[in-house]
Amino acid sequence: SQYSAVDTNPLSVYIMQPIWNKIIKVVPLWIAPNLLTFSGFVMILVNYFLISFYDWDYTASGTSPGLVPTWVWLFSAFTTFCAYALDSIDGKHARRTQSSTPLGELFDHGLDSWATSIFVLSFFSVCSRDNGKTGVSVYTMYIYLSIVLFNFMCSHWEKYNTGVLFLPWGYDISQVVLIAAYLLTGTVGVEVWQKPFLFDYYITDVLVILLIG
C-alpha cells in the first residue's frame, strides 16, 4: 500500500521541511534509506548510553552538578539533531531513489517506537530525579513517558484505521525543545533547571504544560 502522511505543523511545514529538502540533496543516491534510518537510531543509542555512563541513576544533575561534563550535553544536542534529521529524510530519500517498501516503513516506525522511550529517558538526566527540592520523581517520570508513548500509539492506531499517518504537532516541537534544552544545559549548566524560572515555577513546569498539550 502507498505510504501516506499528513503534517500540518507550521514549524515543520515552513522551517524544518525546507531544511530537510536541502540536506537530502547532498545524500548520495547509492546510500540505502534503511541505512539512514538505522544510523539515526544508533545516534540516539550512543547518546543514551553516554549519558547513562555519567548518570546511571538520574541524580547527577541534582546532587552533583558538573559530574556530567559540558561536552556531553553539547554532544547530546548534536546527536539529537542528527537523529531528528535522519528520521526526517529517510522517507524522502526512499521516494527519491524509488526504493520505498512496506518493510522500510515498518523498520522506520519500529525503531521510532524504541526511540520514543529513549528520547524521554535521556532527557530525565537534564532535570534530575527528585532530590527534595527540585527535579522529577520516578513516578512522575513514568507518567511523562506513558503520555508520550500513548500519543505515539494513538497516532499509529489512527494510521492503521485510516491509512493516513497524521503526524502530531508535538513531534517537531519536542525535538526542537529537546535540542534547545541540551544546548541550554551545556552552555549555562544544570543549575538553570534548579532555579525558579518565573515566580515559584521551574522550567520543568513549563515543559510539563507543553508535554500535556
Identify the CATH number of the domain in which residue 147 sits: 1.20.120.1760
State residue 198 phi and psi, 5-degree precision: -150, 120
Which residues are bridge partners to 166 per DSSP?
A: 6
**Position 176 in a domain:** yes
pLDDT tens digits along 7-65: 888 999 999 999 999 999 999 999 999 999 999 999 999 999 999 999 988 888 877 76
Out of 109, 156, 169, 208, the active site residue is 109
Per-residue model confidence (pLDDT) at position 2: 59
pLDDT at 133: 65
Report if residue 90 sits inside a domain.
yes
Is 109 known to be catalytic? yes
The CA-CA-CA angle for residues 84, 201, 65, to 5°, reads: 65
Contacts of 70 (CB under 8 A, 6+ apart): 186, 189
**2 in a structural domain:** no
Domains in the chain: how many in total?
1
pLDDT tens digit sequence for 149-170? 998 999 999 988 998 888 888 8
For 40, the domain range is: 7-212
> What's the pLDDT tens digit per position in 95-152?
899 888 888 888 998 999 999 999 989 988 888 887 666 678 888 889 889 988 998 9
Q: Is residue 198 left, alpha or beta, with left meaning phi > 0 and alpha meaning psi from -120 to 50? A: beta
Give me the pLDDT at residue 180, please.
93
